[in-house]
Amino acid sequence: MRRLDPQSLGEHLDRLYRAAWALSGSREDAEDLVQDTFARVLARPRHIRGESDLAYLMQVLRNTFLTSRRTAGRRPRIAATLDDFEFADPRRGSRPEDAVATNEVFDAIADLDEPFRLALIAVDIVGLSYREAGKALDTPEATVTTRLYRARQQVMLTLSPPEPAEPPAPAPAPRDPDRPALTGGPGRPAAGREGSDP
């Protein structure tokens, strides 16, 4: 058991802000969430048992988010657009293409169902181990892992949706007995080849 050093909180500010953005879905709400989290932590001495400061802070962030959401009735969502995106770090302000990419990724995460969103945030954004994430989220480690897998797949699906399937050919040509069975017709890739639907 050790006491959380309030002066160390600043070291984790960037990670918590990223987590709060992904969790709440907007930068404005993220600021409020981080402020509320830090206010809660600083309200009284905190004692930590066998976990990292960051894991503890993630736990408080999650609890603060859940409490505020219950209070509000529903999670507010403010869609960020490229026009209103401002980099906190002006050194990045000259690269609008990264603003788009960052928004796309954070929006995709914010669209995940909450259990999956929390797992991905804890591991891939905050950088907790599976064990730490499980403890911070009050979820079995194995469950965190499978949620993380599904969350990543969903993020990929959102960011890079599959091509729409081609309409079926109106009348399939008679099969050439010399042609391999998996070969598609004209203009159609062979089944199983990269880019074809499974």
Partner 1 sequence: MTEMDRFSSESDQPGPPSPDAPEPSRERMKTLAALADGSLRSNDARAEIEADPQAAMLLAQQRRAVELVREASADVSAPDSLRERLAELDPELASPPEAAPRWRRPSPRWPVPRGRGLLAGMATVAAVVVVVIALTLSGGTSGSPTVAQAAALATRPATLPAPAHTHPGTELIDFSEAGVAFPYWADHFKWKAVGARTDSLGNRHAATVFYVDRGGRRLAYAIVSGPALKPPAGARKVVRSGVTLWVSTSGATTIVTWERDGHSCVIASSDVPAHTLERLASWRADGSIPY
Footprint of partner 1 on this chain (CB under 8 A)?
A: 6-7, 9-11, 13-14, 16-18, 21, 27, 31, 34-35, 38-39, 42, 52, 54-55, 86-89, 91-92, 94-95, 97-98, 100-102, 104-106, 109, 120, 123-125, 127-130, 132, 142, 145-146, 148-150, 152-153, 155-157, 159-162, 194-195, 197-198
When the beta carbons of 142 and 169 are compared against partner 1, the nearer one is 142
When the beta carbons of 161 and 180 are compared against partner 1, the nearer one is 161
Taking the complex as a whole, the smallest distance from the CB of residue 79 to partner 1 amounts, in Å, to: 17
Taking the complex as a whole, the smallest distance from the CB of residue 73 to partner 1 amounts, in Å, to: 24
The 3-state DSSP class for residue 171 equals coil
When the beta carbons of 100 and 169 are compared against partner 1, the nearer one is 100
User: Which amino acid makes up residue 65?
Assistant: F
Q: Compute, in degrees rounded to 10, the torsion defined by CA atoms 45, 48, 52, 55.
A: -80
User: Which amino acid makes up residue 56?
Assistant: Y
Nearest residue to 134 via CA among 126, 149, 145: 145
When the beta carbons of 83 and 97 are compared against partner 1, the nearer one is 97
Structure token pair of residue 86? 């401002």
Q: How far is CA 174 from CA 33, 179, 187, in A?
A: 64, 11, 16
Taking the complex as a whole, the smallest distance from the CB of residue 177 to partner 1 amounts, in Å, to: 28
Q: Say if strands 47-48 and 2-3 run parallel, antiparallel, or are unpaired.
A: antiparallel
When the beta carbons of 61 and 171 are compared against partner 1, the nearer one is 61
Question: What is the C-alpha separation between 132 and 162, in angstroms, rounded?
Answer: 34
Taking the complex as a whole, the smallest distance from the CB of residue 92 to partner 1 amounts, in Å, to: 6
Taking the complex as a whole, the smallest distance from the CB of residue 61 to partner 1 amounts, in Å, to: 13
| Side-chain-facing half-sphere of 177: CA atoms under 13 Å | 0
User: Which amino acid makes up residue 107?
Assistant: D
